[in-house]
Structure 1
Amino acid sequence: MRFSVTSAALLALPALASAEVPEYQAQFQHYLGKMQSYIPSHSKTDPVHAAEAKLGSMKMDVLTLNNWRETLYADVKPGSTTPEEYWVFVTGGNKTCFGHCEKVEQAFNETAGAFALLPNPPHTGYLNCEQEPVLCNAWSVPTGTVWVFEMLPEPAPIDIWVKRFNLTTTTSEDIIARHAEGYKKTFQLHEGTFHPFNGWWAQNHLSLPVGYVLWFFNVVPSWLLMLTLSFVSRSMM
Structure 2
Amino acid sequence: MRFSASLALALPALAAAEQQVPLADKVRGWINKATNYVSAAAPSVTGNPIKAATGKAANAAVHDLTLENWRSIVKPSPAAAHQGPEEWMIFLDGGNKTCYGLCANASAAWNVAAPILAASPNAPKLARVDCDDQQILCNTWAAGPPSIYHILLPAPLPDQSKPATTIHWIGLNRSSSVTHTAKVITEIHTKETYKQKPVYEGYFHPFDGIMHKLGLDLPLAYVFWGFSLMPSWLPMIAISLFSRVFMSRRQAARPGGIGGPGTQGGTGTQPPQPRR
Map of 1:118 onto structure 2: 120
Relative to structure 1, is the Cα distance of residues 201 and 76 closer, same or farther in structure 2, using a 3 angstrom cutoff?
A: farther
Q: Which amino acid aligns with 2:129?
A: L
The answer to whether structure 1 residue 143 and structure 2 residue 145 are counterparts is yes
Q: Indicate the structure whose relative CO is greater, using CA pairs within 8 Å and at least 6 residues apart.
A: 1
- Answer yes or no: is 1:162 the counterpart of 2:164: no
What is the Cα-based RMSD across aligned positions, in Å?
2.6
Q: Give the direction of change, closer, same or farther, for the CA distance of 1:85–1:92 in structure 2 (3 Å limit).
A: same
Q: Aligned partner of 1:160: which letter?
A: I
Conservation of the 8 A alpha-carbon contact between 1:59 and 1:112: no
SS in 1 for 2:215: coil
CA distance in 2, matches of 1:188, 1:110: 26
Q: Is the CA contact 2:140–2:220 (under 8 Å) kept in the aligned structure 1?
A: yes
C-alpha deviation, 1:125, in angstroms: 0.9
Q: Check 1:203–1:80 CA distance in 2 against 1; reply closer, same or farther (3 A cut).
A: farther
Distance 2:60 2:183 in 1: 16
| 1:59–1:113 CA contact under 8 A, matched in 2 | no
1:215 correspondence with 2:215: no
For residues 214 and 72 of structure 1, what CA distance do their matches in structure 2 show?
Answer: 24
Q: Percent identity?
A: 30
The 8 Å contact of residues 152 and 165 in structure 2, kept in 1 or not, is answered as yes
Would the alpha carbon gap of residues 149 and 76 (structure 1) be closer, same or farther in structure 2, given more than 3 Å must change? farther
Describe how 1:59-208 pairs up with structure 2 within 5 A. Answer: 59-73=61-75, 75=77, 77=79, 79-80=81-82, 82-154=84-156, 155-169=162-176, 170-208=180-218
Unaligned runs of 5+ in 1: 1-54, 227-237
Contact 1:86 1:148 in 2 (8 A): yes
Alpha-carbon distance change, 93 to 183 in structure 1, aligned in 2, over 3 angstroms? same
* Residue identity in the other structure for 2:154: L
Query: How far did 1:57 drift?
Result: 5.6
When residues 61 and 206 of structure 1 are mapped into structure 2, their CA distance, relative to the original with a 3 A threshold, is same
Q: 1:131 & 1:192 partners in 2: Cα distance? A: 24
- TM-score normalised per structure 2: 0.57
CA distance in 2, matches of 1:76, 1:108: 28
TM superposition outliers: structure 1 runs of 4+ over 6 Å: none
2:198 and 2:154 map into 1 onto residues whose CA distance is 19
Q: What CA distance in whole angstroms lies between the structure 1 residues aligned with 2:139 and 2:223?
A: 9
Q: CA deviation at 1:179?
A: 2.0
Q: 1:95/1:183 Cα in 2 relative to 1: closer, same or farther (>3 Å)?
A: same
Query: Per the alignment, in what secondary structure is the counterpart of residue 74 of structure 2?
Result: helix
TM-score w.r.t. the length of structure 1 is 0.65
Q: SS where residue 152 of structure 2 aligns?
A: strand
Count of equivalent residues = 173
User: CA separation in 2, counterparts of 1:93 and 1:191?
Assistant: 27
Larger radius of gyration: 2
| Conserved 8 A contact 1:80-1:152 | no
Residues 120-178 of structure 1: per-residue CA shift (max 9 Å, x gap): 21011111110101111111102111110111124222110111111121431222123
**Distance apart, 1:188 and its partner CA:** 2.6
Aligned to 1:25: none
> How far apart, CA to CA, are the structure 2 residues paired with 1:171 and 1:200?
33
Change (3 A) 1:84 1:206: same
